[in-house]
Chains A and B, each alone.
Chain A
Amino acid sequence: MDTILEIKKLSKHFADFTSVDGIDFSVEEGGFFSILGPSGCGKTTLLRMISGFEEESEGEILIRGKSMKGVPPEQRPVNIVFQSLALFPMMNVKENVAFGLKRKKLQKNVIDHKVAQMLGRVGLSGFERKKVTELSGGQRQRVAIARSLVMEPSILLLDEPLGALDRKLREHMKIELKLLQKELGTTFIYITHDQSEALVMSDKIAVMNKGRFEQVDTPRELYKNPKTAFVASFVGESNRFEIIHKEGDVLTTKGQWKLTKSGLDFTPVVLYIRPEAFILSPTEERKDISVFEVTIKTVLFDGANTKLSTFAQGSDDEILISLPQNAHFEDLCEGDTIQVGVHQDDLKCYEEE
């Protein structure tokens, strides 16, 4: 696969604040690349530098090997879907989508054809004459995406495009966007602070924090092997324990709970365990699985996401454990004590926060 976008040591300093702090990464042609990070970590600033609305303080942006230094936004082979969508309110759907094509001075019938085709793609055929103010949130979303995609950009930048939608519609659009991207083969760079969006859609995810990338990886790797404590806490749900003592392979948490992990060559300060990493009532005894007893405090019912809030015996560490919704565990209730195991590979230890 060819590299379509290469970012080298990119920084952006505002008067009293560094928003993007020396970022390096590259994106492959046709990929779905997500940038995931909490609010204010510099995602929009990074995207605005790629699209040319913000000038970089340091570093370089290369698109297909060509430096973008000094190239104005209207000449870059990228298009952006804004956080606010920015559909032109005085134009109808068709005029919005045709706006960019008209700037390319294409012939009218070519424009008409492309617009009709793109509107068909996003499922908005027949909406040509509708005013954008008369559309629903999801439809406006699709017009914004169509307006950018019809330009056939090398890279499409999307800045939290699903942020304004309700949860149901967001779930739906998530899948639709992914399918559209696959079908068109356009490279997407997608910004979000919603980890589930990033996990579902992306080929690769960069986790961003305070202007830096903490880890760039596939969704699976990111989830299974978070490289830093921040990634472990931000991607997916995790139990967090502070470690106060290490003796041989035995780690002691602040709540006086003991766990075994071999092969550690440093003294960790925090440890993360995912709720679904716990094995309920383990049947076989294995040396790489720590087994202990927990007391159920409450059952947090949430369908397939149901969890047990528990205490490890002899400690005050609260532990969230996923509860599979099958008949086997149906009658677990408050106050019960059960055996729980956790594999040592599922203990994610970090030297620093």
Chain B
Amino acid sequence: MQQKKRFNTTFWLLIVPVLLWLVVLIVLPHLDLLISSFQVKNSAGENVFSLNNYLAFFNNDIYWGTFLKTAGYAVFVTLLAFVISFPVAFYLTKVISKKYAGLLVLLLLIPLWVGELVTVYGWMILLGDHGVINHFLLFLGMIDKPINMLYTDLSMVIGLLYMSMLFMVVPIMTTLESLDDAYIEAASDLGAGKWTIFTKIIIPYSMPGIISGAIIVFMLVIGDFLAPDILGGKHSLWFTEQIYSKFLQTFNWGEGAAFGFLLLFLSSAIVWLALKLSGQKLEKVGS
């Protein structure tokens, strides 16, 4: 009994700051937004309850079309991030010695240190018509006029990939680190070739890491603004850009707020669906 009571005091001491932080900084501002998302101004200029802000999304195919496109790209970037990150994570944990792995992970962290804006401008310098890559290719004589890479879907995907990849690498590395080499040897002893070991042992074992990495990357990408806005072209309209223009260009805060919540719920729904389809449980992924 005594034990239990003490535990409760500690528990509350620890939970109160967390709750305060959640309520004051996250719930309250969003509550305000949530309310305004259900309000429109009537002819007298008063705020009245309405679902119009939400209906606007479904009634206008530009809006939900943009959302679908954004979600599609986010899924694509997530898949791409997985394809690139897995070999990187495997190399860092299983191939090279621990000593160098630490250093290389540190290098991977650099884009995070300098911030997304700086890396995005970095990519502009690299990809521009008069940028480093074109300059180099021209110099080598491999092309005779600059390739248009900047302000396209390609440059946008590169930017998104670059800022989110690390969040895929790290969780995969964590699961791979706990993968005992004896599993690989046991599989090979039982007659499995390299490909079978990869698909039947290594991938299933690191599934929790892959899924948690995928969720983070997907959420980061679908909610990103800078990379699509700066690196993407006129045609690569991102859903966050639409929210931005609602707030700051047309000053329609109600619709902006409604779109924000739609983004939150729809992307959560996609994650939930993906978890269901892959047969993974959120508790397991989180650990």
Residues of chain A having any CB pair with chain B under 8 Å: 51, 53, 72-75, 79-80, 82, 84, 86, 88-91, 99-100, 103-104, 147-148, 151
Contacts and interface: CB of A to CB of B under 8 A. Distances in A.
A100 B191 contact: yes
Closest A-B pairs by Cβ, 6 of them:
A100-B190, A86-B182, A103-B191, A86-B186, A90-B204, A74-B191
Interface in B172-215: 180, 182-183, 185-193, 196, 200-201, 204-205, 207
A248 to B, nearest CB: 58
29 contacts: A53-B185, A53-B188, A73-B185, A73-B188, A73-B189, A74-B188, A74-B190, A80-B186, A80-B189, A82-B182, A82-B185, A84-B180, A86-B182, A86-B185, A86-B186, A88-B183, A88-B186, A88-B187, A88-B201, A89-B205, A90-B205, A91-B204, A99-B200, A100-B190, A100-B191, A103-B190, A104-B191, A147-B190, A148-B190
B276 to A, nearest CB: 18
Given A99-B192, A103-B190, 17 more contacts: A53-B185, A72-B188, A74-B188, A74-B189, A74-B191, A79-B190, A80-B189, A82-B185, A84-B180, A84-B182, A86-B186, A88-B183, A88-B205, A90-B204, A91-B204, A99-B187, A103-B192
A55 B103 CA distance: 31
Contacts, number: 55
A127 B196 CA distance: 25
Contacts of B193: 74
A86 B180 contact: yes
Interface residues of B, number: 18
A153 B11 CA distance: 56
A147 B186 CA distance: 10
Contacts of B191: 74-75, 100, 103-104, 151
Contacts of B204: 90-91
B189 A51 contact: yes
A151 B180 CA distance: 22
A73 B194 CA distance: 12
Nearest to A89: B205
B200 to A, nearest CB: 8
B251 to A, nearest CB: 53
Contacts of B185: 53, 73, 82, 86
Given A90-B204, A90-B205, A90-B207, A99 B190 contact: yes
Contacts of B187: 88, 99
Contacts of A53: 185, 188-189
A104 B192 CA distance: 9
